[in-house]
Amino acid sequence: MKKTILFATAIALMASCGNKEASTEKNIQPTEGGQIVAYVEWDSLVSQYQFCKDYNELMALEYENAQRTLASKQNDLQQHMATVQKKYENNGYTTRDELERAQASIQREQQDLQELDARLSVQFNENQESFYKEINDSLQKFIKDFNKGRKYSYILSKSGNNILFADSAYDVTADIVKGLNARYKAKAEVKEKLKKTEE
């Protein structure tokens, strides 16, 4: 039975990492095997940790900017196509070669638009990955310090139904969020980007 519990705990640890009044200073007793397990409500952490708020806002801004850029280029392409079509219908092309050059120009624009879409998508995904890595690194470093005086055997991430039952006495979310926010200092470029969105 103990092996099953330990295995389930290890599986939960490998899973992805309301402000509660829970405190780590409660009289928390070790389990039968001498282990103390705490957990963090992931949704609460993400909604209350200022780093996550800032970067979620930046990612939303980046996505909107990419969509605006693509929409503008798409609009330019459609206007160009309409101009070529109208000129063709009005017999504005005097030679076959002139018409083929106009069509080739449209094809280049279409290809450029597809390449831009792919580049923006790759860039967005890379930035998102970088954000997830940064939040994970930030959380791992903080939890290591946070746990020095507490000696939890495990601090699990509780998200959705990945833990079927959790006693709120072991919820350290509020303490983790408070500590993370106290340590967080937004980078200058992040402050500048966020400032521009407020103007």
Task: Give per-residue pLDDT as tens, 27-73.
Answer: 555 556 678 889 999 999 999 999 999 999 999 999 999 999 999 99
**Of residues 12 and 193, more confidently modeled:** 193
| Angstrom distance (rounded) from CA 92 to CA 73 | 25
Q: Where are the alpha helices (DSSP H) in 15-95?
A: 42-48, 50-89
**How far is CA 29 from its chain centroid?**
36
Query: Rounded to whole angstroms, how far apart are CA atoms 140 and 138?
Result: 6
Quote the CA–CA distance of 170 and 3 in Å, as a whole number: 21
Strand duo 154-158 + 37-41: pairing:
parallel
Mean pLDDT of 70-98: 93
| For range 69-97, the mean pLDDT | 93
pLDDT in tens, 98-120: 999 999 999 999 999 999 999 99
Q: For the segment 115-141, what is each residue's pLDDT rounded down to a tens digit?
A: 999 999 999 999 999 999 998 999 999
Give the pLDDT score at 128. 93
Residue 29, pLDDT score: 58
Q: Quick check: 22 pLDDT over 50?
A: no
